[in-house]
Structure 1
Amino acid sequence: YLLYASGDFVKVYSVNTEEIVRLMGGHADLVTGIQLNPRNHMQLYSSSLDGTIKLWDFMDGILIKTFTVGSKLLALYTLASAEDSVFVVIPKKGERDTFQLVSVKLTKGAGQDLEGKELSVVLDDVGASMKHTAFGREGAYVVSVKDVNLQVYFFKRKLLNRFSLSTLKTKGGDNRFSCVVCHPKEDCIATGHADGKIRLWRNFHHKKEYTYSTLHWHHDIVMDLAFSLEGTRLLSGGVESVLVQWHNESSCQKDFLPRLGSPIEYISMSSDGVLCSTLHTDNRITIINSNLRFSRSIQGLIKSRDVKTGLVVDPRTKALVLNGEPGHLQFYSLQSDQQLFSLDIVQRQYIHQAGLKQSDLVKVAFSARGTWLATVEESEEVTDPELQLKLWFYNEEIQSFELNTRINTPHDNHITDMCFRDMVELGDDSLILVTTGRDCVFKVWVMVEDTDPEAQQSVSWTCDFVGSYHNYQATNCCFSEDGSLLAVSFEETVTVWDSLTWDLKCTFCHPPGNIRNICFGRLTCSKYLIGATDYGFLCCWNLLTCALDWSAHLNVVVLQPDPLSEHIAAVSWLSKESSLFVFKPNEPRPIYIQRNLCKEKILLAAFVPRDEPEITSSEKYLWLRKSQLFFLTDTQELMTLSTKSLEERLTPSSKQLAVEESLPVTPFSLLLGKHRRQQAQEDTDPGKLVVHNKQEQASPAVKELLHTPAHVLPSASFLCTIFINSLLISKENKSAEEVADEVEMESEKAEDDSDEEDGTAMEQEDTSHMELLEEVTCKLSKSQEKELRKIRKMDYSWISAL
């Protein structure tokens, strides 16, 4: 298994099946470190910025212990020689940007939540990154680097040695430390530096007699280092996207694995030395064999420099589409939490060098069926940008998009927005593409038959109409749900155009401030047009009356309509706080408000249609039944709103139980199953009293209690809530028949009272019989009770005549 931290979760990845088999969540903030338990390799320690250390059984995905330290934890280390203790990096109290390495005594106790307040300082003024501290052979010493300083602390001798390099940057040299790692078998320290050099330190037990040798291949900073299991090989990585393997600490013997795609941030070796993994800056993990051969990779959501395309949903795959690698579009699957594929749009080699003006992808739009894709790419020049509009058609044979039309300089200045006319019922014959630009015009592009006999495609795209309004810059555009109207914003004014004749129908304005976002209402709210200004106003105009229906003072940065309902999501940014407001245009009062949604600023949002409507019992989440809302923050973290709690989403043994139920049957299980079937048949025989009890053992909560090994079970207080909830009977809605039965029961209440005396006597006679069924409760339905009352009131006097 490969274990890695992802946000505030820890994921367990199967190297063989290439699937995520466990998702362990419980931290309230970013996970900063994970380490295997040295005394039990089936357990894992994790640290977080929330100030807690958690112990997991990662095979079953069960949380065993939580130790509260009370301070932000920036890195985590474990040692086999340090019993019941771990090492963490924490901020030093009273000093800014100063950190210290401390030892945390893990308290032993019966409960699950324990205190980890017993701290002892090991080193002061250490680096905040996990790569800045390393433990030596068998935990005899600890090494820390910061700036140009290296310090070594020997535990038994309680000796601290400090070493410093020159701060002068001569001949391109930069001696600042970037990472450190220790040899697993010998007293040797390897350090990486900002100028690309690697130094191997020896004899550092003495302050003056120490020595070091130098290895140099990287032209820029060494990002990370790692020794092999026996220490015969040293791996290094940096911004060159090349993994370098050094043999026997010699600069002459080295191997390379090039073209890994992006700079290497971290290198990790497996415990058996067979595999190593590299973490890259594009949020990708590469697994590499010991012979330096590529094995497989795990690609997450790529972090680009700037997500200029926005969050777009592919109608075919329901994948999120946004900027990926430079000049590429990434199609990201939300179901598998992995990248589906990457589409090269710019089709130029990207050069990793500062100061170069290179083309990048800025706008993306899909047609309603996903058969057409429009992209806009432009150079980084501010005054005279190089623009290209490309139309791509999806080829079913190759299962990818092919370039159909390339239009050079579609506008004289930057393109600000782009949209297709979405009319699914008319198909691609009604396709229209609209682009807006800073050249104060919007352009309409339509498909025409290609008359060129040498052309490979039968259709191409051309400009059909150019519109403008008082020489104002065009900023946003969108079509109504039926495609009959086009709204284009020109600075402070919103214009509405007929999409058949391109006549200007009406204009709306709400000064002061330019229009930041616009969108049409849908379904029953299709007569409304919503707009947000950069002066902090949210406006709703009625297209039938051409008047303002309502406005709200709200600084909206994101305005996103749900394509499957009338709901519109608005995200505001005020006082360093992102808040979510969900509303219908015909109701000015929001139906859902979530203040302080996240700490970061939300820049983009998108509704993704669900495969099936989600069943939710909470009324406040009914607007999420058909679609799921995703957000992208300024730190490029992808988040979503969930209708389920964390306990409901994380069921550690659910997959395990599902596997057990699908296992092949054994002779014993066949015998046991036959006995159960016979018992079920006896219960259904007529004339026998059948008492139906809730089968508690069929509950997942009870199965988890019975199937989980006892030594990894959480405390009873943690399982109590889940267990009690599993025993509760869900409240069902009353049918019309049951309501009628209740009315009839009330009318017969007087007759029932007259029979109470006889019933009391019967109860006294049957006391001895009821003692036998003391533990059994027979609960009849209301219809059955009604039938019994009718039988009791029936006249049986005719029997005496027989």
Structure 2
Amino acid sequence: MITGGQSYVSAPPAFSADGRLLLVCSGRSVSVFSTATAMLVSELEAHEGDVTAVVVVPPPAQAAAAAKLASYCWTAGLDGALIYWDFVAAEVVRKVQVGLPVHSMVVPNICRSSKGAEVPTPFAFVSVEDRSKPVNDEKLLRGQIRIYDLTKGRQVGCPLAETRKPEKIVASSSGEFLGITNRRKLHIWSIPTKDFKPEKIRKIKLRHTKNLTTLAFHPSERTVAAGDATGRILIWRCFGNAKFSESSARSKVDDGRDGVRGNDDADTCTTWHWHSSRVRFLNFSSDGAYLFSGGLEGVIVVWQLDTGKRRFKPRLGSPLLFFVDSPDSSISCVSCTNNQVYLLKMPNMEVMRSIAGIKLPIASSTMGGSDRAVYGFDYTNRLVAIPTEDYCVQFYNLFENTEVSELQVCERNFQPVDDITMHISLVSLSIDGKLMCTVDIKLPEEELGGLVTLKFWNHGSSAGHYLLSTIIYEPHSDAGVSAVAFRPGRNMAVSSSFGGNFKVWVQRLSSQSSDKTYYSGWRCQSVGSYKNKPMTSAAFSADGSVLAVAAESVITLWDPDNNALVGVIAETLSPITNLSFIGTSGFLMSLCQSSRPQLAVWNVSNLSMQWSYSIYAEAACCSPDGSDFAVLALLNCPDGGTSTEQDGAILLFDAESPNPVASWSVKKARGGSVSFVKGDLSLDADASSRDSEAMFLVYVNCSHEYVIFDPRKSEELGVSKNTHKKIQAEEPAPIGYASIYGELPKVESKKEVTDVPFIPSDRPWETIFSGSSHVLPPLTKLCSAFLSSLLEKRPVANE
């Protein structure tokens, strides 16, 4: 079984001590990527819940004495476990049980006095959630800040704070200060880094008039910055001079402090404003001269701390979530809501590489009135095509859990702060993946100006690469397109419309040679209708000889070549939303998704119903060959609750029998989809004993997390770990000359050595230093060649 599609942006990532690796929280594991190649190096898998925090820490004293690189980290998760890793070896060193879901964690550098010496002792400050209290009561305090001694594996002291929900903890680079945002207040604690005792921790509060969303500490000064929900940034300087001072007596608070509210313990408070909505992250540069901020606009704003001047890194294309510095000051990373992590070359913030996960679901469900997911599956190449919020289609390799390509469907500059004015409502691919069709809708403004566009695409040079062939505006007048199906083995497609008709499209033959056929654009060959009823779905049989079109609740059968009606099947209980032939079995499956749901199997040969069920089904798919089909069913009525993460079950049927062959329980079924894909025989140990090609089933939930499994085997979904990973061995770091100037170019001789005799130059010093500095050979070679050219060579007489 293979799992994938986890979010890479659910929590801030962390760099290794040398900046060569990036540790990213991805579901129940931590993915370790190389910053040089952005490829997956290893995975840390031991948590039983989603990982919420990863903190890289110095190695133990014995490892440091052995000159071992710092390759240790602590991770925290919703399973209530804190795990200490050697992330280079991907081995668990220690585990501490908290017992409550951990939403945030910091591990400051703290020393404890022991027998006259200061010994580094790890203490973790965690933000946990008390799930024993009901969620619907907003006045209850479900969040707590606790301290854990990671050496002894137990809690120390009392909780530092209680909040209505778990808050994110932020620590200063020195570990001296910790802070959280709690509605309109900033809570800051002073942590004794030497001779640590919980009773020595002191606390102050800084107040604001709006809800605070994030904060950051200055690396060297007693300065803290916070962002609020309206886009403002507040900077308090010299905070805690009264409460955190060494003197036991609190100094008198001066009046007339700029921007400081009431008796807050700070000298000044400066306010900056550029962002139009909530500030998602704040981060000071390593030298403390600049402050980075980001939010919904998809722009990194760089503020000069002394003057307030700013510059920008625009066009990242998605709202920003996190910004993390590397110990190597030449690289940083930023996490975006589209499940991408960009590696930035500092200080110009040039995007070097990106770690792209599967795009997350579009937040708005009001685009077109349907909240059902739109997925396209490439059965042959094992890809899923997912429409994105920026008018693209992302092609994602399901077996390798990597992005293959991204296709821009609508040419328009997308800005995250703009209102959504168009969306991709349908993506359909042929079974061999050579043809694709998309439908994009421009939403009307004040009920005027709506536009439906049908586009046909031809397969390019590689999987997931498509070239635009034909654009058809308003293919069904002013009505929307309900479905598109491709005819197997032919360059033909049918589109059905809610307006009461369907159209058969064919691709024109432009030229034909002995070994290849070339096609040009698409044209409409014929138009059909049935009693002016809305055409809600369409499907071709496995051999392409029969076209089935759902006329609301009636299934009609057509000859696609002559556009002739050849048969009509009895009506269903409600309008049909999904229609598909079940392989080569001669059966047809229909799905009704309304207040009167129905799953029905029809015998095409005698135009009668084989069997039916009244179940709420979210999606269904049929095997390209054979007689199997799968249904994603909800456990309760979708209209009975407001939750978008309803659980469900995948039922596997044989067309001839109403009894399920197998079933699997799944999470987050509402908004999900299922599909058959061509299996990878290398993953199946029994494949050599089978004559038929392996067939796998893929389930994608509403969060775009997916699982691929063999439906012929009985196994619990979501329990087993991945059996196939695309993991690249980490490249060794360059050393010496190559680490400064890069690898020297390899010069290959165009002629044989015997054809070009070596003739030494009389004046070699004029040419050995010529050329760019970055392509010169090492200095040792240059010096020896230069000195030898100055020496006079004399023959040595043999005595």
Kept in 2, the 8 Å contact 1:309–1:364? The answer is no
Q: Please give the alpha-carbon distance, in whole angstroms, between the structure 2 residues aligned to 1:604 and 1:509.
A: 27
For 1:68, the equivalent position in structure 2 comes to 97
Specify which structure has the higher proportion of helix: 1
User: CA, structure 1 residues 577+407, in 2 after alignment: closer, same or farther (shift >3 Å)?
Assistant: same
Pick closer, same or farther for the CA change 1:511–1:407 going to 2, 3 Å: closer
Check conservation: 1:23, 1:650, Cα contact below 8 A.
Answer: no
The answer to whether the aligner puts 1:373 opposite 2:436 as a matched pair is yes
Q: Match for 1:128 among 166, 174, 187?
A: 166
Is 1:29 the counterpart of 2:49 in the alignment?
Answer: yes
Q: What does residue 532 of structure 2 align with?
A: 471
Residues 722-742 of structure 1: CA deviation (Å, up to 9, x unaligned): xxxxxxxxxxxxxxxxxxxxx
Deviation string 1:143-162 (CA, Å, 9 cap, x unpaired) is 22122211223345543322
Deviation at 1:315, TM superposition (A): 5.8
Report whether the alignment pairs 1:2 with 2:45: no
Task: Kindly provide the CA deviation profile for residues 348-373 of structure 1, in whole angstroms up to 9, marking residues without a partner as x.
Answer: 2234445x462222122223443332
**Is 1:59 matched up with 2:79?**
no
Q: How does 1:354-365 map to 2 (within 5 A)?
A: 356=419, 358-365=421-428
| 1:290-369 pair list within 5 angstroms | 290-292=346-348, 293-305=350-362, 310-314=374-378, 317-353=381-417, 356=419, 358-369=421-432
Unaligned runs of 5+ residues in structure 2 are: 1-20, 61-69, 112-120, 193-199, 243-262, 366-370, 512-517, 637-645, 733-799
What per-residue deviation string (whole Å, max 9, x for no partner) do you get for residues 195-220 of structure 1?
A: 32222212321444522123333333
SS in 2 for 1:560: strand
Matches within 5 A, 1:276-675: 276-292=332-348, 293-305=350-362, 310-314=374-378, 317-353=381-417, 356=419, 358-381=421-444, 385-396=450-461, 400-411=465-476, 412-423=478-489, 430-448=490-508, 459-509=520-570, 511-523=572-584, 525=585, 527-534=586-593, 535-575=596-636, 576-595=646-665, 597-612=666-681, 614-616=683-685, 626-641=694-709, 649=722
Q: Is residue 308–residue 362 contact of structure 1 (8 Å, CA) maintained in 2? A: no
Out of 134-143 and 436-445, give the one that drifted further: 134-143
Q: How far apart are the structure 1 equivalents of 2:394 and 2:301? A: 28
TM-fit CA distance, 1:250: 2.9
* Alpha-carbon contact 1:613-1:625 (below 8 Å) kept: no
Q: Is the 8 A contact 2:128 2:146 kept in 1?
A: no
State the 1:551 CA deviation: 1.9
What SS is found at the alignment partner of 1:513?
coil
Kindly name which structure, 1 or 2, has the bigger radius of gyration based on alpha carbons.
1
2:544 partner letter: G
Instruction: Write the distance in 2 (CA, Å) between the matches of 1:204 and 1:58.
Output: 37
* Cα distance change, pair 282–472 in 1 and its aligned pair in 2 (3 A): same
> Structure 1's 567 and 68: CA in aligned 2 closer, same or farther, altered over 3 A?
farther
User: How much has 1:498 moved relative to structure 2?
Assistant: 2.1
Q: Is the 8 A contact 2:109 2:122 kept in 1?
A: no
Aligned to 2:133: 94
Answer yes or no: is 1:43 the counterpart of 2:72. yes
In structure 1, the gaps of 5 or more residues are 110-114, 167-174, 424-429, 452-456, 660-802
Cα distance in 2, alignment partners of residues 475 and 129 from structure 1? 47
Question: Displacement, 1:409?
Answer: 0.8
Structure 2 partner of 1:11: 31
SS in 2 for 1:86: strand
Q: Give the conservation status (yes or no) of the 8 Å contact 1:572–1:578.
A: yes
Higher relative contact order (CA 8 A, sep 6+): 2
Deviation of residue 119 (structure 1)?
7.0
Report how far residue 537 of structure 1 moved.
2.6
Name the Cα RMSD after superposition. Answer: 3.4
Aligned residue in 1 for 2:761: none
Flag the 1:52–1:648 CA change in 2: closer, same or farther, 3 A.
Answer: closer
Q: Post-superposition shift, 1:164?
A: 1.8
Q: Are 1:194 and 2:223 matched, yes or no? A: no
Instruction: For residue 509 of structure 1, report the CA deviation from its aligned partner.
Output: 3.5
Distance (whole Å) between structure 2 residues aligned to residue 520 and residue 336 of structure 1: 29
Structure 1 partner of 2:766: none
- Superposed CA offset, 1:634-661 (max 9, x none): 23333333778967747999988999xx
Q: Secondary structure at the match of 1:29?
A: coil
Alignment identity in percent? 23
Q: Report the CA distance shift for 1:13/1:396 in structure 2 as closer, same or farther (over 3 A).
A: closer
> 1:463 is paired with a residue of what secondary structure?
strand
- Contact map agreement 1:193 1:221 (CA 8 A) in 2: yes
Kindly report which structure 2 residues correspond to 1:745-764, keeping only aligned pairs within 5 A, or say none: none
- One-letter code of the match for 1:377? D
- Which residue among 252, 259, 271 is the counterpart of 1:214? 271
Q: CA shift at 1:438, angstroms?
A: 1.0
Q: Secondary structure of the residue that 2:394 maps to in structure 1?
A: strand
TM-score (norm 2): 0.72
Q: 1:544 to 1:655 in 2, by over 3 A?
A: same
Quote how far apart the aligned CAs of 1:616 are.
4.9
Which residue of 2 is the match for residue 232 of structure 1?
289
Question: Partner residue of 2:148?
Answer: 105
Per-residue deviation at 1:21? 0.8
Which letter maps to 2:607?
Answer: C
Change (3 A) 1:234 1:565: farther
Deviation readout 1:384-427 (Å, 9 max, x if unpaired) = 6311112222344999433222211111311111011012xxxx
Separation in 1, partners of 2:693, 2:155: 45
Worse overlay, 634-643 or 367-376: 634-643
Pair 1:286–1:49, CA change in 2 (3 A) = same
Within-5 A mapping of 1:80-91: 80-81=109-110, 83-91=121-129
| Partners of 1:613 and 1:498 in 2: CA distance | 40
CA drift at 1:222: 1.7
Q: How many residues align?
A: 627
CA distance in 2, matches of 1:641, 1:85: 42
Contact 1:152 1:162 in 2 (8 A): yes
Partners of 1:336 and 1:398 in 2: CA distance = 13
Contact 1:102 1:120 in 2 (8 A): no
Distance of 1:548 and 1:316 partners within structure 2 = 31
Amino acid in the other structure paired with 1:566: S
What secondary structure, in the 3-state scheme, does the structure 2 residue paired with 1:124 have?
strand
State the 1:482 CA deviation: 0.4
SS in 1 for 2:660: strand
| 1:478 maps to amino acid | A
Q: Identify if the C-alpha distance between structure 1 residues 579 and 125 changes in structure 2 by more than 3 Å, giving closer, same or farther.
A: same
AA of the residue aligned to 1:331? F
Give me the whole-angstrom Cα distance separating, in 1, the residues matched to 2:462 and 2:74: 48
Q: Which amino acid aligns with 2:491?
A: L
**Which amino acid in 2 is paired with 1:577?**
D
Question: Take 1:125 and 1:309, find their aligned partners in 2: how far apart are those partners?
Answer: 36
**2:777 counterpart residue number:** none
Give the AA of the match of 1:138: S
Tell me the secondary structure at the aligned position of residue 174 of structure 2: helix
- Distance, in Å, in 2 between the alignment partners of 1:511 and 1:387 is 29
Query: How far apart are the structure 1 equivalents of 2:686 and 2:76?
Result: 35
- AA at the equivalent of 2:353: R
What letter matches 2:604 in structure 1?
Answer: L
Query: Aligned AA for 1:261?
Result: G
Whether the aligned pair in 2 keeps the contact of 1:10 and 1:25 (CA below 8 Å) is: yes
Alpha carbons of structure 1 residues 439 and 14: separation in structure 2 relative to 1, 3 Å: same
Matches of 1:340 and 1:490, distance apart in 2:
37
- What's the TM-score once normalised by structure 1's chain length? 0.72
Shift of 1:32: 1.2
